[in-house]
A and B are shown apart, each in its own frame.
Chain A
Protein backbone atom coordinates (compact mmCIF):
# COMPACT_ATOMS: atom_id res chain seq x y z
CA UNK A 1 0.00 0.00 0.00
CA UNK A 2 1.34 3.44 -0.86
CA UNK A 3 2.11 5.91 1.94
CA UNK A 4 -0.46 8.29 0.46
CA UNK A 5 -3.20 5.67 0.54
CA UNK A 6 -2.31 4.69 4.10
CA UNK A 7 -2.48 8.33 5.20
CA UNK A 8 -5.79 8.82 3.41
CA UNK A 9 -7.30 5.70 4.98
CA UNK A 10 -6.04 6.69 8.44
CA UNK A 11 -7.61 10.16 8.14
CA UNK A 12 -10.87 8.74 6.85
CA UNK A 13 -10.82 6.16 9.60
CA UNK A 14 -10.38 8.82 12.30
CA UNK A 15 -13.22 10.97 10.94
CA UNK A 16 -15.57 7.99 10.75
CA UNK A 17 -14.72 6.92 14.27
CA UNK A 18 -15.53 10.39 15.60
CA UNK A 19 -18.80 10.37 13.65
CA UNK A 20 -19.75 6.98 15.14
CA UNK A 21 -19.11 8.49 18.59
CA UNK A 22 -21.26 11.45 17.64
CA UNK A 23 -24.00 9.08 16.44
CA UNK A 24 -23.93 7.42 19.86
CA UNK A 25 -24.11 10.70 21.79
CA UNK A 26 -26.92 12.05 19.61
CA UNK A 27 -28.71 8.71 19.86
CA UNK A 28 -28.54 8.85 23.65
CA UNK A 29 -29.62 12.49 23.63
CA UNK A 30 -32.68 11.76 21.46
CA UNK A 31 -33.46 8.85 23.76
CA UNK A 32 -33.69 11.36 26.60
CA UNK A 33 -35.89 13.61 24.42
CA UNK A 34 -38.20 10.58 24.08
CA UNK A 35 -38.42 10.48 27.84
CA UNK A 36 -39.47 14.11 27.94
CA UNK A 37 -36.17 15.96 28.37
CA UNK A 38 -36.34 19.48 26.95
CA UNK A 39 -33.06 21.25 26.28
CA UNK A 40 -32.27 24.14 23.95
CA UNK A 41 -30.67 22.59 20.89
CA UNK A 42 -29.04 23.80 17.70
CA UNK A 43 -30.00 20.54 15.99
CA UNK A 44 -33.25 19.53 14.35
CA UNK A 45 -33.45 16.36 16.35
CA UNK A 46 -36.65 14.87 17.64
CA UNK A 47 -37.57 11.81 19.63
CA UNK A 48 -38.16 9.85 16.41
CA UNK A 49 -34.48 10.12 15.51
CA UNK A 50 -33.49 7.92 18.50
CA UNK A 51 -33.86 4.57 16.70
CA UNK A 52 -32.23 5.54 13.38
CA UNK A 53 -29.35 7.25 15.20
CA UNK A 54 -28.59 4.34 17.52
CA UNK A 55 -28.89 1.73 14.77
CA UNK A 56 -27.32 3.57 11.85
CA UNK A 57 -25.51 6.60 13.25
CA UNK A 58 -23.77 4.52 15.89
CA UNK A 59 -23.93 0.74 15.34
CA UNK A 60 -23.90 0.61 11.53
CA UNK A 61 -21.13 3.21 11.31
CA UNK A 62 -19.03 1.37 13.89
CA UNK A 63 -19.60 -2.10 12.44
CA UNK A 64 -18.90 -0.98 8.88
CA UNK A 65 -15.75 0.89 10.00
CA UNK A 66 -14.60 -2.39 11.55
CA UNK A 67 -15.20 -4.23 8.29
CA UNK A 68 -13.43 -1.43 6.40
CA UNK A 69 -10.46 -1.84 8.74
CA UNK A 70 -10.47 -5.55 8.03
CA UNK A 71 -10.44 -5.27 4.25
CA UNK A 72 -8.44 -2.03 4.02
CA UNK A 73 -9.86 -1.08 0.65
CA UNK A 74 -11.05 2.40 -0.22
CA UNK A 75 -14.47 1.25 -1.47
CA UNK A 76 -15.22 -0.49 1.82
CA UNK A 77 -15.06 2.88 3.58
CA UNK A 78 -17.94 4.22 1.47
CA UNK A 79 -20.35 2.23 3.69
CA UNK A 80 -19.41 3.89 7.01
CA UNK A 81 -19.02 7.24 5.21
CA UNK A 82 -22.63 6.95 3.97
CA UNK A 83 -23.88 6.22 7.49
CA UNK A 84 -21.81 9.15 8.78
CA UNK A 85 -23.29 11.52 6.17
CA UNK A 86 -26.78 10.36 7.05
CA UNK A 87 -26.08 11.17 10.72
CA UNK A 88 -25.22 14.76 9.76
CA UNK A 89 -28.30 15.02 7.53
CA UNK A 90 -30.57 13.68 10.28
CA UNK A 91 -28.94 16.07 12.73
CA UNK A 92 -29.98 19.05 10.63
CA UNK A 93 -33.46 17.78 9.89
CA UNK A 94 -32.90 16.47 6.33
CA UNK A 95 -34.63 13.18 7.03
CA UNK A 96 -35.39 12.24 3.42
CA UNK A 97 -31.85 12.83 2.14
CA UNK A 98 -30.48 11.09 5.25
CA UNK A 99 -32.63 8.09 4.41
CA UNK A 100 -31.05 7.68 0.96
CA UNK A 101 -27.57 7.59 2.48
CA UNK A 102 -28.80 4.96 4.93
CA UNK A 103 -29.79 2.81 1.98
CA UNK A 104 -26.45 3.41 0.22
CA UNK A 105 -24.57 2.48 3.41
CA UNK A 106 -26.68 -0.64 3.95
CA UNK A 107 -26.25 -1.82 0.35
CA UNK A 108 -22.48 -1.34 0.59
CA UNK A 109 -22.27 -3.13 3.93
CA UNK A 110 -24.15 -6.01 2.34
CA UNK A 111 -21.66 -5.96 -0.55
CA UNK A 112 -18.75 -6.04 1.91
CA UNK A 113 -20.29 -9.03 3.66
CA UNK A 114 -20.97 -10.68 0.27
CA UNK A 115 -17.31 -10.15 -0.60
CA UNK A 116 -16.26 -11.80 2.68
CA UNK A 117 -18.60 -14.72 1.98
CA UNK A 118 -16.97 -15.10 -1.44
CA UNK A 119 -13.46 -15.11 0.04
CA UNK A 120 -14.44 -17.54 2.77
CA UNK A 121 -17.88 -19.16 2.42
CA UNK A 122 -18.34 -20.19 6.05
CA UNK A 123 -21.30 -20.15 8.43
CA UNK A 124 -20.18 -17.16 10.52
CA UNK A 125 -19.85 -14.98 7.42
CA UNK A 126 -23.30 -16.03 6.18
CA UNK A 127 -24.79 -15.11 9.56
CA UNK A 128 -23.10 -11.68 9.55
CA UNK A 129 -24.27 -11.14 5.96
CA UNK A 130 -27.77 -11.92 7.25
CA UNK A 131 -27.25 -9.04 9.68
CA UNK A 132 -26.38 -6.66 6.85
CA UNK A 133 -29.45 -7.85 4.91
CA UNK A 134 -31.62 -7.25 7.98
CA UNK A 135 -30.28 -3.70 8.22
CA UNK A 136 -31.06 -3.07 4.55
CA UNK A 137 -34.60 -4.44 5.04
CA UNK A 138 -35.15 -2.25 8.09
CA UNK A 139 -33.80 0.86 6.42
CA UNK A 140 -35.81 0.31 3.23
CA UNK A 141 -38.98 0.03 5.29
CA UNK A 142 -37.89 3.13 7.24
CA UNK A 143 -37.53 5.33 4.16
CA UNK A 144 -40.87 4.01 2.90
CA UNK A 145 -42.37 5.54 6.06
CA UNK A 146 -43.32 2.19 7.57
CA UNK A 147 -44.05 2.66 11.28
CA UNK A 148 -40.97 1.82 13.38
CA UNK A 149 -42.85 -0.89 15.34
CA UNK A 150 -43.25 -2.76 12.02
CA UNK A 151 -39.56 -2.71 11.18
CA UNK A 152 -37.92 -2.85 14.60
CA UNK A 153 -37.39 -6.63 14.32
CA UNK A 154 -35.01 -6.05 11.39
CA UNK A 155 -33.13 -3.34 13.27
CA UNK A 156 -32.82 -5.69 16.24
CA UNK A 157 -31.55 -8.43 13.94
CA UNK A 158 -28.68 -6.36 12.52
CA UNK A 159 -26.50 -6.15 15.65
CA UNK A 160 -27.68 -9.54 16.91
CA UNK A 161 -26.74 -11.43 13.76
CA UNK A 162 -23.43 -9.56 13.56
CA UNK A 163 -22.61 -10.54 17.15
CA UNK A 164 -23.84 -14.14 16.70
CA UNK A 165 -21.55 -14.50 13.66
CA UNK A 166 -18.59 -13.01 15.51
CA UNK A 167 -19.09 -15.29 18.53
CA UNK A 168 -19.36 -18.34 16.28
CA UNK A 169 -16.13 -17.28 14.58
CA UNK A 170 -14.23 -16.75 17.82
CA UNK A 171 -15.56 -19.90 19.44
CA UNK A 172 -13.92 -22.04 16.78
CA UNK A 173 -11.13 -22.34 19.34
CA UNK A 174 -13.59 -24.32 21.49
CA UNK A 175 -13.88 -26.69 18.52
CA UNK A 176 -17.65 -27.17 18.73
CA UNK A 177 -18.89 -30.30 16.91
CA UNK A 178 -19.91 -29.68 13.29
CA UNK A 179 -23.45 -30.77 14.10
CA UNK A 180 -23.64 -28.06 16.80
CA UNK A 181 -22.44 -25.39 14.35
CA UNK A 182 -25.05 -26.49 11.81
CA UNK A 183 -27.73 -26.45 14.50
CA UNK A 184 -26.75 -22.88 15.46
CA UNK A 185 -26.93 -21.80 11.81
CA UNK A 186 -30.33 -23.46 11.31
CA UNK A 187 -31.71 -21.80 14.48
CA UNK A 188 -30.56 -18.42 13.18
CA UNK A 189 -31.97 -19.05 9.71
CA UNK A 190 -35.34 -19.95 11.25
CA UNK A 191 -35.19 -16.82 13.41
CA UNK A 192 -34.68 -14.67 10.30
CA UNK A 193 -37.71 -16.40 8.72
CA UNK A 194 -39.75 -15.65 11.85
CA UNK A 195 -38.84 -11.95 11.48
CA UNK A 196 -40.25 -12.01 7.96
CA UNK A 197 -43.33 -13.79 9.31
CA UNK A 198 -44.20 -11.04 11.78
CA UNK A 199 -45.26 -8.84 8.85
CA UNK A 200 -48.09 -11.34 8.30
CA UNK A 201 -48.90 -12.58 11.80
CA UNK A 202 -47.16 -10.34 14.30
CA UNK A 203 -47.59 -12.00 17.69
CA UNK A 204 -47.47 -15.60 16.53
CA UNK A 205 -44.19 -15.23 14.65
CA UNK A 206 -42.65 -13.05 17.36
CA UNK A 207 -43.46 -15.79 19.87
CA UNK A 208 -41.96 -18.44 17.60
CA UNK A 209 -38.89 -16.22 17.11
CA UNK A 210 -38.62 -15.78 20.88
CA UNK A 211 -38.41 -19.56 21.35
CA UNK A 212 -35.58 -19.55 18.80
CA UNK A 213 -33.84 -16.68 20.63
CA UNK A 214 -33.92 -18.74 23.84
CA UNK A 215 -32.46 -21.73 21.96
CA UNK A 216 -29.72 -19.55 20.41
CA UNK A 217 -28.85 -18.13 23.85
CA UNK A 218 -28.63 -21.60 25.38
CA UNK A 219 -26.36 -22.66 22.51
CA UNK A 220 -24.12 -19.64 23.12
CA UNK A 221 -23.90 -20.30 26.85
CA UNK A 222 -23.07 -23.95 26.13
CA UNK A 223 -20.37 -23.34 23.52
CA UNK A 224 -19.01 -19.87 24.28
CA UNK A 225 -15.53 -19.69 25.75
CA UNK A 226 -16.94 -17.20 28.30
CA UNK A 227 -17.96 -20.03 30.65
CA UNK A 228 -14.28 -20.89 31.01
CA UNK A 229 -12.81 -17.41 30.89
CA UNK A 230 -15.03 -16.18 33.71
CA UNK A 231 -12.46 -17.86 35.96
CA UNK A 232 -9.67 -15.82 34.35
CA UNK A 233 -8.60 -12.27 35.30
CA UNK A 234 -8.74 -8.66 34.13
CA UNK A 235 -10.25 -7.93 30.68
CA UNK A 236 -10.76 -11.63 29.94
CA UNK A 237 -12.89 -12.16 33.04
CA UNK A 238 -14.64 -8.83 32.50
CA UNK A 239 -15.48 -9.79 28.94
CA UNK A 240 -16.91 -13.13 30.12
CA UNK A 241 -19.19 -11.33 32.59
CA UNK A 242 -20.40 -9.02 29.83
CA UNK A 243 -21.07 -11.95 27.50
CA UNK A 244 -22.85 -14.18 29.98
CA UNK A 245 -25.04 -11.41 31.39
CA UNK A 246 -25.89 -10.44 27.81
CA UNK A 247 -26.94 -14.04 27.04
CA UNK A 248 -28.98 -13.99 30.26
CA UNK A 249 -30.91 -10.94 29.03
CA UNK A 250 -31.52 -12.70 25.71
CA UNK A 251 -33.17 -15.59 27.54
CA UNK A 252 -35.23 -13.09 29.56
CA UNK A 253 -36.40 -11.27 26.42
CA UNK A 254 -37.17 -14.61 24.81
CA UNK A 255 -39.41 -15.60 27.73
CA UNK A 256 -41.13 -12.19 27.65
CA UNK A 257 -41.63 -12.51 23.89
CA UNK A 258 -43.23 -15.94 24.29
CA UNK A 259 -45.63 -14.60 26.93
CA UNK A 260 -46.46 -11.16 25.54
CA UNK A 261 -45.60 -11.28 21.81
CA UNK A 262 -44.51 -7.88 20.51
CA UNK A 263 -46.96 -5.06 21.20
CA UNK A 264 -46.96 -2.09 18.84
CA UNK A 265 -46.15 0.49 21.48
CA UNK A 266 -46.21 1.09 25.21
CA UNK A 267 -44.37 -0.28 28.20
CA UNK A 268 -43.87 -3.87 27.03
CA UNK A 269 -42.64 -2.74 23.60
CA UNK A 270 -40.12 -0.45 25.34
CA UNK A 271 -39.02 -3.29 27.62
CA UNK A 272 -38.48 -5.82 24.83
CA UNK A 273 -36.52 -3.48 22.56
CA UNK A 274 -34.31 -2.17 25.35
CA UNK A 275 -33.48 -5.62 26.67
CA UNK A 276 -32.19 -6.39 23.17
CA UNK A 277 -30.30 -3.15 22.68
CA UNK A 278 -29.10 -2.31 26.20
CA UNK A 279 -29.07 -5.70 27.94
CA UNK A 280 -27.57 -7.60 25.05
CA UNK A 281 -25.96 -5.26 22.51
CA UNK A 282 -24.35 -2.79 24.96
CA UNK A 283 -23.29 -5.60 27.24
CA UNK A 284 -21.54 -7.13 24.21
CA UNK A 285 -19.94 -3.78 23.35
CA UNK A 286 -18.59 -3.48 26.91
CA UNK A 287 -17.42 -7.10 26.71
CA UNK A 288 -15.60 -6.61 23.41
CA UNK A 289 -14.11 -3.18 24.20
CA UNK A 290 -10.66 -4.62 24.92
CA UNK A 291 -10.62 -5.90 21.31
CA UNK A 292 -12.67 -3.23 19.53
CA UNK A 293 -10.56 -0.32 20.83
CA UNK A 294 -7.16 -1.67 19.69
CA UNK A 295 -8.73 -2.55 16.34
CA UNK A 296 -10.01 0.98 15.94
CA UNK A 297 -7.29 3.07 17.58
CA UNK A 298 -4.21 0.85 17.52
CA UNK A 299 -3.93 1.24 21.31
CA UNK A 300 -4.42 -1.31 24.06
CA UNK A 301 -6.74 -0.14 26.83
CA UNK A 302 -5.12 -0.82 30.23
CA UNK A 303 -7.50 -2.78 32.41
CA UNK A 304 -9.02 -1.27 35.54
CA UNK A 305 -11.54 -2.69 38.03
CA UNK A 306 -13.39 0.59 37.42
CA UNK A 307 -14.98 -0.91 34.30
CA UNK A 308 -17.16 -3.16 36.46
CA UNK A 309 -18.83 -0.03 37.79
CA UNK A 310 -20.53 0.98 34.49
CA UNK A 311 -21.26 -2.69 33.71
CA UNK A 312 -23.10 -3.12 37.01
CA UNK A 313 -24.88 0.22 36.48
CA UNK A 314 -25.90 -0.85 32.97
CA UNK A 315 -27.52 -4.08 34.13
CA UNK A 316 -28.84 -2.67 37.41
CA UNK A 317 -30.56 0.31 35.81
CA UNK A 318 -31.88 -1.84 32.96
CA UNK A 319 -33.50 -4.05 35.57
CA UNK A 320 -35.10 -0.96 37.13
CA UNK A 321 -36.30 0.15 33.70
CA UNK A 322 -37.80 -3.25 32.90
CA UNK A 323 -39.51 -3.45 36.28
CA UNK A 324 -40.88 0.04 35.57
CA UNK A 325 -42.19 -1.25 32.24
CA UNK A 326 -43.71 -4.39 33.75
CA UNK A 327 -45.46 -2.41 36.49
CA UNK A 328 -46.29 0.44 34.09
CA UNK A 329 -44.42 3.00 36.12
CA UNK A 330 -43.11 5.81 33.92
CA UNK A 331 -41.06 7.16 36.86
CA UNK A 332 -39.12 3.91 37.33
CA UNK A 333 -38.69 3.58 33.59
CA UNK A 334 -37.19 7.07 33.45
CA UNK A 335 -34.81 6.42 36.36
CA UNK A 336 -33.64 3.23 34.65
CA UNK A 337 -33.19 5.00 31.31
CA UNK A 338 -31.15 7.88 32.75
CA UNK A 339 -29.08 5.30 34.62
CA UNK A 340 -28.42 3.42 31.39
CA UNK A 341 -27.27 6.60 29.64
CA UNK A 342 -24.99 7.33 32.62
CA UNK A 343 -23.56 3.79 32.52
CA UNK A 344 -22.72 4.09 28.81
CA UNK A 345 -21.11 7.53 29.27
CA UNK A 346 -19.15 6.34 32.31
CA UNK A 347 -17.86 3.39 30.34
CA UNK A 348 -16.88 5.57 27.38
CA UNK A 349 -15.26 8.09 29.74
CA UNK A 350 -13.29 5.31 31.43
CA UNK A 351 -11.97 4.08 28.08
CA UNK A 352 -10.92 7.58 27.01
CA UNK A 353 -9.29 8.24 30.39
CA UNK A 354 -7.34 4.97 30.28
CA UNK A 355 -6.14 5.65 26.72
CA UNK A 356 -4.90 9.16 27.59
CA UNK A 357 -3.48 8.09 30.94
CA UNK A 358 -1.42 5.28 29.41
CA UNK A 359 -0.30 7.58 26.58
CA UNK A 360 1.02 10.26 28.96
CA UNK A 361 2.44 7.69 31.36
CA UNK A 362 4.59 6.30 28.54
CA UNK A 363 5.88 9.78 27.73
Chain B
Protein backbone atom coordinates (compact mmCIF):
# COMPACT_ATOMS: atom_id res chain seq x y z
CA UNK B 1 0.00 0.00 0.00
CA UNK B 2 1.22 3.49 -0.88
CA UNK B 3 1.69 6.17 1.77
CA UNK B 4 -1.70 6.78 3.41
CA UNK B 5 -1.30 10.57 3.20
CA UNK B 6 -0.81 10.29 -0.53
CA UNK B 7 -3.62 7.88 -1.14
CA UNK B 8 -6.31 9.17 1.27
CA UNK B 9 -7.40 12.14 -0.91
CA UNK B 10 -7.89 9.74 -3.83
CA UNK B 11 -9.97 7.41 -1.67
CA UNK B 12 -12.11 10.29 -0.41
CA UNK B 13 -12.57 11.57 -3.95
CA UNK B 14 -13.67 8.13 -5.11
CA UNK B 15 -15.97 7.60 -2.12
CA UNK B 16 -17.67 10.90 -2.94
CA UNK B 17 -19.06 9.09 -5.98
CA UNK B 18 -20.90 6.63 -3.73
CA UNK B 19 -24.40 8.00 -3.29
CA UNK B 20 -26.84 7.11 -0.54
CA UNK B 21 -29.97 6.53 -2.67
CA UNK B 22 -32.24 7.39 0.22
CA UNK B 23 -30.96 10.94 0.61
CA UNK B 24 -29.29 11.59 -2.75
CA UNK B 25 -26.05 12.72 -1.11
CA UNK B 26 -22.59 11.13 -1.27
CA UNK B 27 -21.56 9.13 1.77
CA UNK B 28 -18.55 11.32 2.58
CA UNK B 29 -20.58 14.54 2.84
CA UNK B 30 -23.26 12.65 4.76
CA UNK B 31 -20.63 11.84 7.37
CA UNK B 32 -20.99 8.09 6.94
CA UNK B 33 -17.25 7.49 6.47
CA UNK B 34 -15.78 7.39 9.96
CA UNK B 35 -12.17 6.33 9.41
CA UNK B 36 -9.67 5.64 6.63
CA UNK B 37 -6.43 4.36 8.12
CA UNK B 38 -3.70 1.73 7.69
CA UNK B 39 -3.75 -1.28 10.00
CA UNK B 40 -1.32 -4.22 9.75
CA UNK B 41 -0.30 -3.39 6.14
CA UNK B 42 -3.96 -3.18 5.18
CA UNK B 43 -6.12 -0.20 4.49
CA UNK B 44 -9.12 -0.06 6.76
CA UNK B 45 -12.28 1.88 6.01
CA UNK B 46 -14.90 2.21 8.72
CA UNK B 47 -18.30 3.38 7.62
CA UNK B 48 -21.71 3.58 9.20
CA UNK B 49 -25.33 3.92 8.10
CA UNK B 50 -27.80 6.60 9.15
CA UNK B 51 -29.42 4.05 11.47
CA UNK B 52 -28.38 0.53 12.56
CA UNK B 53 -31.61 -0.81 11.04
CA UNK B 54 -30.84 0.69 7.62
CA UNK B 55 -31.25 -1.96 4.91
CA UNK B 56 -28.83 -0.10 2.64
CA UNK B 57 -25.88 -1.51 4.59
CA UNK B 58 -25.15 -4.27 2.06
CA UNK B 59 -25.57 -1.91 -0.88
CA UNK B 60 -23.23 0.70 0.60
CA UNK B 61 -20.68 -1.97 1.53
CA UNK B 62 -20.67 -3.23 -2.08
CA UNK B 63 -20.36 0.32 -3.44
CA UNK B 64 -17.46 1.18 -1.10
CA UNK B 65 -15.75 -2.04 -2.15
CA UNK B 66 -16.18 -1.18 -5.85
CA UNK B 67 -14.81 2.30 -5.22
CA UNK B 68 -11.68 0.94 -3.48
CA UNK B 69 -11.07 -1.65 -6.21
CA UNK B 70 -10.65 1.16 -8.75
CA UNK B 71 -7.82 2.88 -6.89
CA UNK B 72 -4.31 1.99 -7.90
CA UNK B 73 -1.72 1.03 -5.30
CA UNK B 74 -4.22 0.43 -2.54
CA UNK B 75 -3.25 -3.21 -1.92
CA UNK B 76 -5.24 -5.16 0.64
CA UNK B 77 -8.15 -3.50 2.36
CA UNK B 78 -10.84 -4.17 4.90
CA UNK B 79 -14.24 -2.51 5.03
CA UNK B 80 -16.08 -2.44 8.32
CA UNK B 81 -19.56 -1.30 9.05
CA UNK B 82 -19.53 0.20 12.56
CA UNK B 83 -22.51 1.18 14.65
CA UNK B 84 -20.74 3.39 17.17
CA UNK B 85 -20.66 6.31 17.51
CA UNK B 86 -24.28 6.79 16.48
CA UNK B 87 -24.65 8.76 13.27
CA UNK B 88 -26.35 12.11 13.77
CA UNK B 89 -27.63 14.75 11.36
CA UNK B 90 -25.00 17.11 12.80
CA UNK B 91 -22.38 14.95 11.03
CA UNK B 92 -23.66 16.03 7.62
CA UNK B 93 -21.42 18.54 5.88
CA UNK B 94 -22.85 22.03 6.09
CA UNK B 95 -24.59 23.29 2.97
CA UNK B 96 -25.23 19.84 1.51
CA UNK B 97 -28.12 19.72 -0.95
CA UNK B 98 -30.27 16.65 -0.36
CA UNK B 99 -31.60 14.64 -3.28
CA UNK B 100 -29.38 16.56 -5.70
CA UNK B 101 -27.58 13.42 -6.88
CA UNK B 102 -28.70 11.93 -9.15
CA UNK B 103 -29.63 13.99 -11.06
CA UNK B 104 -29.20 17.79 -10.83
CA UNK B 105 -32.54 19.62 -10.90
CA UNK B 106 -33.77 20.66 -14.33
CA UNK B 107 -34.02 24.36 -15.07
Q: Does B23 contact A (CB under 8 A)?
A: yes
Task: Digitize B23-56: 1 where CB-to-A-CB distance is under 8 Å, 0 elsewhere.
Answer: 1100000000000000000000000011111111
Interfacial chain A residues near B69, Cβ < 8 Å: none
Q: Does B12 contact A (CB under 8 A)?
A: no
Closest 9 CB pairs of A and B: A295-B55, A66-B55, A236-B99, A69-B55, A294-B59, A291-B22, A116-B53, A70-B53, A295-B56
Contacts between the two chains (Cβ within 8 Å), count: 71
Q: Does B86 contact A (CB under 8 A)?
A: yes
Q: Per a CB cutoff under 8 Å, which of B21, B83, B86, B92 touches A294?
A: B21
A119 and B52 in contact, given A72-B58, A233-B105, A233-B106 (Cβ under 8 angstroms)? yes
Distance in angstroms between the alpha carbons of A128 and B53 in the assembled complex: 10
A173 and B24 in contact, given A70-B55, A233-B106 (Cβ under 8 angstroms)? no
A120 and B52 in contact, given A72-B57, A173-B23, A291-B21 (Cβ under 8 angstroms)? yes
Min C-beta distance of A256 to chain B, whole Å: 32
Min C-beta distance of B67 to chain A, whole Å: 14
A169 and B50 in contact, given A234-B103, A291-B22 (Cβ under 8 angstroms)? yes
A70 and B103 in contact, given A170-B22, A236-B24 (Cβ under 8 angstroms)? no
Distance in angstroms between the alpha carbons of A296 and B21 in the assembled complex: 13
Give the residues from 278 to 298 in chain A that come closer than 8 angstroms, CB to CB, to chain B.
290-292, 294-296, 298
A69 and B57 in contact, given A173-B98, A236-B99, A291-B22 (Cβ under 8 angstroms)? yes
Residue in chain A with minimal CB distance to B61: A72
Min C-beta distance of A294 to chain B, whole Å: 5
Q: Does B81 contact A (CB under 8 A)?
A: yes
Min C-beta distance of A298 to chain B, whole Å: 5
Please classify the interface of chain B as helix (H, G, I), strand (E, B), loop, or mixed, using the class held by over half of its residues: loop
Min C-beta distance of B46 to chain A, whole Å: 14
**Are B49 and A70 closer than 8 Å at their CB atoms?**
yes
Q: Per a CB cutoff under 8 Å, which of B56, B57, B86, B99 touches A120?
A: B86
Distance in angstroms between the alpha carbons of A116 and B52 in the assembled complex: 7
Q: Which A residues contact B (CB, under 8 angstroms)?
A: 66-67, 69-72, 113, 116, 119-120, 124-125, 128, 169-170, 172-173, 175, 225, 229, 232-234, 236, 290-292, 294-296, 298, 300
Distance in angstroms between the alpha carbons of A72 and B56 in the assembled complex: 11
Interfacial chain B residues near A124, Cβ < 8 Å: 51
**Are A72 and B81 closer than 8 Å at their CB atoms?**
yes
**Are A291 and B56 closer than 8 Å at their CB atoms?**
yes
27 chain-A/chain-B pairs, Cβ below 8 angstroms? A67-B55, A69-B55, A70-B53, A70-B54, A70-B55, A70-B57, A71-B52, A72-B57, A119-B52, A120-B52, A125-B51, A125-B53, A128-B53, A169-B50, A169-B51, A172-B50, A175-B89, A229-B99, A232-B99, A233-B106, A234-B103, A236-B99, A290-B21, A291-B56, A294-B59, A295-B56, A300-B21
Distance in angstroms between the alpha carbons of A128 and B55 in the assembled complex: 14
Min C-beta distance of B25 to chain A, whole Å: 9
Residue in chain A with minimal CB distance to B57: A70
Distance in angstroms between the alpha carbons of A241 and B11 in the assembled complex: 37
Residue in chain A with minimal CB distance to B83: A119
Interfacial chain A residues near B103, Cβ < 8 Å: 233-234
Min C-beta distance of B85 to chain A, whole Å: 11
Distance in angstroms between the alpha carbons of A294 and B105 in the assembled complex: 22
Distance in angstroms between the alpha carbons of A70 and B50 in the assembled complex: 11
Q: Which one of B55, B89, B92 has the greatest number of beta carbons of chain A within 10 Å?
A: B55
Distance in angstroms between the alpha carbons of A269 and B23 in the assembled complex: 37
**Are B89 and A173 closer than 8 Å at their CB atoms?**
yes
Residue in chain B with minimal CB distance to A234: B103
**Are A225 and B98 closer than 8 Å at their CB atoms?**
yes
Min C-beta distance of A186 to chain B, whole Å: 21
Distance in angstroms between the alpha carbons of A70 and B56 in the assembled complex: 7
A298 and B59 in contact, given A173-B92, A234-B103 (Cβ under 8 angstroms)? yes
Interfacial chain A residues near B22, Cβ < 8 Å: 170, 291
**Are A294 and B99 closer than 8 Å at their CB atoms?**
no
Interfacial chain A residues near B92, Cβ < 8 Å: 173
